[in-house]
């Protein structure tokens, strides 16, 4: 695709979009469906490439007049609204990096990210503006909070760095991922990361063949994740397609949205097929235009049943924020070994190893940690640049010249991979990575808690659920009332999905000789306590806030 190569050479996301606009000017680029528009309190509509470019250029002029430029970062707390893309592209054109901020984050999370990323400003939906200002004030940082329409962009007197013209290596975005040490890690992502992701998707082929100027991609995945930002947005941009961003996954109206959007490609999380299969069958289950779904984590027992009922393949893939499209593994060609947790065989652009705890390669069908790198002279091509302000963590992740994923897999003699588990101390709930250490730290701050230990337990729909083992300071206070109090405590400080779904009160938690939590023993204990009377089920309290 020569058009892709020409656009890619433009160097930045914004310059590439401008090149695509000259080719696809009157084609539809963004579409906002009525249900999502209603959730945002705005009118449903679509934007052509030309319309989008006009919105971007208006914001770009305002940011330039206010002296925004290279070396600065701006937070975007805009959910999946079209304004996210308008502000992103406008800032990118000036060499400014964007920091996506989740609307689910609360005080503790906002304070950390604002301080760690050293935001100059943040663009926010109206209902979260005060929270952003309060979080910035709490850490003593001056951050201008800008409205979604950008009419109040103003100069702070700060002078941008006198860097060279933004290019492929310029920081485009800083995405935060849950770390094993408690606080999130900021992944520095250059323009090349995003453009390569879009180019990879546009040309990967097989069952994921993307037809230029034809596809309409529907995704409920948040723009705070690399999938929606790097794969969905970039692929549609580079191929003249249309991106339909949902405010979130609505099970009851999902198929109505699919039909209304005239979607030909959908993106999914593993939790979605299970929920959709639970609905009663109808004669219209295959009345849609979807050619394939692209995602990860579908339950093996649901995979084939979903495809047979709804009439299109779910293409399982593997990637991380850190790897981008530099090392994607995807089951996009037959045979896909549906129902075996297989996520494909690496292509010639990806080098991979499966190793044991000593770093030695394991035999076929033996579980080990997945190590990856890009093939050729640039092993980090397409990957993140590194963790912000954490050179030691970056070096550790790349120990020995291979990126250590922390994922446990098994590879058979034919080269196909099966996902087994996560080696890292992360809980995977409905597509969100949750740091057990982060939740433990918040629980431990409550005056009624002596010790808190958090582990994943299986959940039929969400994959994992957060389980908290609590040693209370007053054993007589243990019970449902304290469990609900702890849930409220977490809700004020953490995103709702990080709140424990279960709380069990116990006399002690398993510790090592150096007083660290024994994670394997804790997992076993959590599964054991799940069915005992000491366990309090508070999953009903895990509801997303109104905004």
Mean pLDDT within 113-134? 97
Predicted local distance difference test score (pLDDT) of residue 547: 56
What's the token pair of residue 546?
């109104």
Residues forming beta bridges with residue 15, ordered by sequence position? none
Cα–Cα distance, 69 to 58 (Å, whole number): 16
Alpha carbon 503 to chain centroid, angstroms: 27
Domain boundaries, the chain: 426-541
- Interval 474-493: pLDDT, tens: 999 899 999 999 999 999 99
Predicted local distance difference test score (pLDDT) of residue 387: 98
Looking up tokens 């103003």 gives 154
What's the token pair of residue 329?
């593994």
Cα–Cα distance, 345 to 326 (Å, whole number): 15
Predicted local distance difference test score (pLDDT) of residue 4: 54
- For 82-86, 251-255, 412-416, 539-543, which range has the lowest pLDDT when averaged over its residues? 539-543
Predicted local distance difference test score (pLDDT) of residue 128: 96
Q: Is pLDDT above 90 for 163? A: no
What's the token pair of residue 46?
């679509």
Predicted local distance difference test score (pLDDT) of residue 488: 93
Most confident of 322-326, 355-359, 450-454, 532-536: 322-326
The half-sphere exposure of 491 on its side-chain side, counting CA atoms within 13 A, is: 16
- Candidates 377, 408, 381, 380; CA nearest to 394 is 380
Mean pLDDT within 406-425? 86
Predicted local distance difference test score (pLDDT) of residue 10: 64
Predicted local distance difference test score (pLDDT) of residue 5: 47
159 pLDDT band, cuts 50/70/90, is confident
Mean pLDDT within 387-413? 95
Residues forming beta bridges with residue 379, ordered by sequence position? none
Q: Does domain 426-541 have CATH number 3.30.300.30?
A: yes
Cα–Cα distance, 244 to 475 (Å, whole number): 52
- Interval 38-47: pLDDT, tens: 999 999 999 9
Strand order across the beta sheet in which 121-124 lies = 144-147, 121-124, 73-77, 97-100, 171-177, 185-190, 386-387
Q: How far is CA 158 from CA 118, 141, 161, 449, in A?
A: 13, 14, 10, 44
Say whether 268 sits in a helix, a strand or coil: strand
Q: Is pLDDT above 50 for 1? A: no
Query: How big is the chain, counted in residues?
Result: 547
- Interval 427-452: pLDDT, tens: 888 878 788 888 988 898 899 998 89
DSSP-derived secondary structure letter, 511 = B
Q: Is pLDDT above 80 for 8? A: no
Give the other-Cβ count within 10 Å of 50's Cβ: 14
Residue 161's φ and ψ, nearest 5 degrees, are: -65, 145
Q: Is pLDDT above 70 for 240? A: yes
Q: Is the peptide bond before 177 cis (omega within 30 degrees of 0)?
A: no
The half-sphere exposure of 204 on its side-chain side, counting CA atoms within 13 A, is: 26
- Interval 138-150: pLDDT, tens: 999 999 999 999 9
Cα–Cα distance, 231 to 195 (Å, whole number): 9
What's the token pair of residue 383?
């990957």
Q: How far is CA 483 from CA 47, 454, 458, 468, 537, in A?
A: 47, 14, 20, 10, 9
Q: Is pLDDT above 80 for 426? A: no
Q: How far is CA 495 from CA 116, 261, 434, 464, 491, in A?
A: 18, 30, 10, 16, 7
The half-sphere exposure of 265 on its side-chain side, counting CA atoms within 13 A, is: 27
Predicted local distance difference test score (pLDDT) of residue 224: 93
Q: Is pLDDT above 80 for 349? A: yes
Output 178 or 412, whichever has higher pLDDT.
412
**DSSP notation for 149-214:** T-TT----SPPPP------TTSEEEEEEE--TTSS-EEEEEEHHHHHHHHHHHHH--GGGPPPTTT
Give the other-Cβ count within 10 Å of 476's Cβ: 6
Q: Is pLDDT above 80 for 53? A: yes
Mean pLDDT within 85-103? 97
Predicted local distance difference test score (pLDDT) of residue 7: 52
Over the chain, what is the mean pLDDT?
Answer: 92
Cα–Cα distance, 501 to 325 (Å, whole number): 34
For the chain, give the percent of residues with pLDDT over 90.
78
């Amino acid at each position: 695709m020569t058009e892709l190569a020409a656009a890619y050479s433009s160097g930045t996301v914004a310059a590439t979009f401008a090149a695509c606009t000259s080719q696809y000017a009157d084609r539809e680029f963004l579409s906002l469906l009525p249900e999502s528009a209603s959730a945002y309190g705005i009118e449903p509509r679509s934007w052509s490439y030309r319309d989008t470019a006009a919105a971007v250029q208006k914001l770009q002029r305002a940011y330039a007049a206010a002296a925004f430029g290279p070396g600065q970062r701006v937070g975007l707390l805009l959910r999946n609204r079209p304004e996210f893309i308008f502000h992103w592209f406008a800032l990118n054109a000036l060499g400014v990096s964007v920091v996506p901020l989740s609307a689910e984050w609360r005080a503790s999370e906002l304070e950390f990210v604002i301080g760690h990323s050293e935001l100059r400003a943040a663009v926010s939906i109206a209902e979260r503006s005060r929270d952003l200002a309060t979080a910035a004030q709490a850490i003593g940082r001056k951050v201008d909070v800008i409205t979604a329409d950008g009419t109040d962009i103003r100069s702070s007197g700060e002078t941008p760095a006198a860097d060279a013209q933004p290019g492929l290596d310029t920081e485009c975005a800083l995405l935060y991922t849950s770390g094993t040490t408690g606080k999130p890690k900021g992944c520095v992502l250059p323009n090349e990361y995003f453009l390569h992701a879009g180019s990879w998707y546009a040309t990967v082929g097989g069952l994921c063949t993307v037809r230029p100027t034809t596809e309409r991609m529907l995704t409920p995945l948040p723009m705070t994740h690399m999938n929606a930002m790097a794969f969905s947005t970039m692929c549609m941009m580079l191929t003249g397609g249309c991106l339909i961003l949902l405010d979130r996954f609505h099970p009851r109206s999902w198929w109505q949205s699919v039909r209304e959007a005239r979607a030909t490609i959908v993106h999914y999380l593993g939790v979605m097929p299970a929920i959709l299969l639970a609905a009663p069958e109808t004669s219209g289950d295959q009345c849609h235009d979807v050619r394939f779904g692209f995602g990860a984590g579908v339950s093996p027992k649901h995979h084939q049943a979903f495809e047979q009922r709804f009439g299109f393949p779910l293409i399982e893939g593997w990637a991380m924020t850190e790897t981008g499209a530099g090392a994607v593994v995807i089951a996009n060609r037959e045979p896909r070994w549906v129902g075996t947790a297989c996520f494909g065989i690496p292509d010639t652009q990806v080098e991979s190893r499966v190793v044991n705890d000593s770093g030695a390669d394991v035999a076929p069908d033996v579980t080990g940690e997945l190590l990856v790198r890009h093939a050729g002279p640039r092993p980090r091509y397409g990957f993140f640049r590194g963790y912000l302000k954490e050179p030691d963590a970056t070096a550790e992740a790349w120990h020995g010249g291979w990126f250590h994923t922390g994922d446990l897999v098994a590879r058979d003699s034919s080269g196909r991979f099966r996902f087994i588990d996560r080696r890292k101390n992360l809980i995977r709930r409905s597509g969100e990575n949750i740091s057990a250490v982060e939740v433990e730290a918040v629980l431990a701050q409550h005056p009624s808690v002596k010790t808190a230990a958090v582990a994943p337990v299986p959940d039929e729909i969400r994959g994992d659920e957060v389980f908290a083992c609590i040693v209370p300071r007053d054993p007589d206070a243990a019970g449902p009332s304290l469990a609900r109090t702890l849930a409220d405590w977490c809700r004020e400080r953490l995103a709702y999905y990080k709140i424990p779904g279960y709380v069990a009160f116990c006399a002690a938690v398993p510790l090592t000789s150096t007083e660290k939590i024994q994670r394997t023993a804790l997992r076993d204990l959590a599964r054991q306590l799940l069915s005992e009377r000491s366990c309090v089920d508070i999953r009903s309290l895990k509801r997303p806030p109104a905004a």
